[in-house]
Amino acid sequence: MLPSNDPSLISWVTVDSNSDFPIQNLPFGVFRKQGKKPRVGVAIGDFVLDLARLQSNGLFIDGRLEEKVFRKSSMNAFLALGKEKCRWVRERVSVLLRVENKELQGNTILADKALVPQKDVEMLLPVKAQDYTDFYSSIEHATNVGMMFRDPENALLPNWKHMPVAYHGRASSIIVSGTDVKRPKGQYKNPGDDLPSFGASKRLDFELEMAFITCGQTKLGDSISTREAEDYIFGFTLFNDWSARDIQAWEYVPLGPFLGKNFGSSMSPWVVTMDALIPFTTHGPIQEPKVLPYLSYEGAWNFDVRLDVIIKPEGGEENLVTRSNFKHMYWNVLQQLAHHTVNGCNINEGDIYASGTISGPTSDTYGSMLELSWKGTKPITLSDGSSRSFINDHDTVIMRGVANNGNVSLGFGELTTKVIPADE
């Protein structure tokens, strides 16, 4: 039998050649039809395949799955089954959707009920995260920030090339694509002022990131090696870790981000599995100096995913402001998870681990307005003639991600968030 990533696979479900969701992708998410309870589904073309309906009709028959595991408002119960069972479900779905398979295709009544048009559903957050970690793993981003705020000759802090730096974020304020984010208020201190001021942030920024989601659990005191990390990483989403740069700049010394970050982070609803992305792996940057043994790994574990960020003013056109790539990350996901747990920190199913801002080597690949406008000194002109140093009220920020290796193209859907004004 052909593997689920084989480029020759064709589905009996009609899939447009430009779709993010060919049969080689099969990302997981949580959806809700109007008036119905949420459940877990898989994207195929313009449809959501209802996994709960397949299960109740006996199409997952080998006893590996708990009853009603897909009749949930999050994927957590499914992810708790572990990587092996999650992988089996994706492979089983792949078989059911292949043009030569008649199990579902031949049951037109069930197929009509199980395939729900995406336009008719509301997509929810795919997981209920107990914890959220934000890394800082792009060397270009870290260097740019260091040049702007510290010594340009010593932009990277001494520890940066020795470990994947991160901080613990706020899981409760993660929102799904399509949810507005309110401009935050807080303290900030303008240059030259003796005392701080309070008010709405004037330097609201996006951060172009990817996030991985874990499956299974570990016990407190256990660690995950780079060799084992793949077994705990289920898949990836697009992630926008909103930042209030003026609030952040005043508060972050000595303990790091707080109010400048915890007001909202946006996440795309479809989780593209690690298995689906394996054909798009590539080698990352050479790491010098040599990393400590617990961070060493074998193989290619960066991912070639093109990432676009668009700003759309209210009533206006889309403006592409940057095009970056996930492959630019200095620290890869195996190293991130190994470092996160080397001290015995336990993980849970559905935990979220964001990459940190993804910036490339050139100015048109930077992953934040802070860098694109170089701290506000080089505003970007949009198609309507207006300019942006940071994000305005009523702007919509759109992120898209596509992996293409010449044989298969798959995507992440869209991450869309509109900024609404701060409360008076």
Kindly list the catalytic residues.
141
Spatial separation of the C-alpha atoms in residues 344 and 159, rounded to whole Å: 21
* Listed residue (127, 95, 118) closest to 235, CA to CA: 127
In sign, the C-alpha dihedral spanning 65, 70, 73, 76 is positive
Spell out the SS3 assignment of 325-356: EHHHCCCCHHHHHHHHHCCCCCCCCCCEEECC
In whole angstroms, what is the distance from residue 266 CA to residue 207 CA?
A: 10
CA distance 405 to 103: 31
What angle is formed at CA 170 by the lines to CA 402 and CA 177, rounded to 5 degrees?
35
The answer to whether the CB of 230 falls within 8 A of the CB of 212 is no
What's 11's DSSP letter? Answer: B
Cα 196 to Cα 171: distance, rounded to the nearest angstrom: 28
Q: State how far the Cα of 136 lies from the Cα of 139, in Å rounded to an integer.
A: 8
List, in sequence order, every residue forming a beta bridge with 135; answer none if it has no partner: 166
Q: Contact, 133 vs 352, CB < 8 A?
A: yes
| N-term to C-term CA, the chain | 61
The two three-digit tokens of residue 48, written as one number: 């959501």
Contacts 24+ apart (CB under 8 A), 217-221: 217/80, 217/346, 217/347, 217/348, 217/349, 218/341, 218/346, 218/347, 219/346, 220/344, 220/345, 220/346, 221/344, 221/346
> Alpha carbon of 402 to those of 28, 80, 173, 365, 381: distances in Å?
16, 28, 26, 15, 26
Q: For 201-224, give one letter per residue: b (16+ CB within 10 A) or e.
A: bebbbbbbbbbbbbbbebeeeebb
Asked if 28 and 69 touch (Cβ cutoff 8 Å), the reply is no
